[in-house]
Amino acid sequence: MTNPSLAAARRDLASAPLLVAAAGGVPDRIPVWFMRQAGRSLPEYRALRADRSMLSACLDPDLVCEITMQPVRRHGVDAAILFSDIVVPLYAAGVDLDIVPGTGPVVARPVRTPADVDALPTLAPEAVRPVADGIGLLLRALGDTPLIGFAGAPFTLASYLIEGGPSRHHEHTKALMHSDPRTWHALLAKLAGLTRTFLQVQIAAGVDAVQMFDSWAGALSQKDYVELVQPHSASVLSGLDGVPRIHFGVGTGELLGAMRSAGADVVGVDWRVPLDEAVRRLRAAVPDGPAPVVQGNLDPAILLADFGVIEREVRRVVAEGRAAGGHIFNLGHGVLPDTDPDVLTRVVELVHGMRP
């Protein structure tokens, strides 16, 4: 699915602030983008999605391009994040699931036995050609703005498959991982292959960086993460070449060192841990390695406060980020639906006005 002519047409991004920071360099400004910047906070997004399901939109190249471009045009962010969903490769592979409004992904038949794992389909690159085609459209539209591809990490995909949907306690997931580790590892190995394939398709199509989301990894102890999850995340990251690899999880303050050891170039940090403390934990994990690069980590809820409060918190995050080898400003999770888009634009302007 590689399209060399398109990739070559816009690969002169050596000075793009996001890519410079991701490599541990000093960019000409602090790069900033927002998780879920292409989504529910934008009225133009809501209008476009009014009569389209999430999954159909994610597999429509024209919609993928337009929705991905909306926050770039509106906010002037330093990166676009591909409009998609973590369950897209599962759906494209043939897993019977749907994204239910107000609930999230719902799997028709949960995966809980060795036979269920054996029956899981693999992902053929051709099944996600619409995603690659959308990336091709974006390469022409983005100019010198980098494009970040993304996918869900094996553990988070497993939790949806095992629970059958979102879960507060992940009880079936934890029961399987401890009571039947052979089946657990077989499942995560399959999902690591699926995630790796999905990201490789995006890289071949021309994305400039990738982010792997482990939304539910914070439900795990450090011991369980290191023994039962990290090897599979490392398997994904080790199979990706040529672009910066960002690894982000929610509630993963105790897992930051293990996440870095899995092989990410940039570790995303949620709002619960100050960036300077996160840097200390990341350094301790790889004491002989380069200074860690971090992404984050303004609390998304702060964006609903008065702008004076927002400015104070933005400046704090930037100051704490100076402890890192590189800092990509972002939120500690995704943009909340009730966020005023004009506030996001003002935050971008504020961050760009501060010295790197």
With 0-12 CB in 10 A as exposed, 13-18 as middle and 19+ as buried, what is 58?
A: buried
Residue 44 structure tokens? 């133009």
d(CA 18, CA 188): 31
d(CA 73, CA 218): 33
CA dihedral 260, 352, 273, 167 (to 10 degrees): -80
> Across the chain, which distance is largest between two alpha carbons, in Å?
56
Instruction: Give catalytic residue positions.
Output: 36, 40, 49, 85, 160
Q: Collapse the DSSP code of 320 into the 3-class scheme (helix H, G, I; strand E, B; otherwise coil) and give the result.
A: helix
**Torsion (CA) 135, 55, 245, 158 in degrees, nearest 10:** -150
Q: Give the bridge partners for 247, in sequence order.
A: 212, 267
Residue with tokens 């990336």, as numbered in its chain: 135
Contact predicate 266/295, CB 8 Å: yes
- Separation of alpha carbons 90 and 105, rounded Å: 11
Any bridge partners for residue 295, and if so which? 268, 328
CA distance 62 to 72: 16
Q: Tell me, what amino acid is at 297? A: N
Alpha-carbon gap, residue 284 to 281, rounded angstroms = 5
Burial group, residue 119, by CB count within 10 angstroms (0-12, 13-18, 19+): exposed
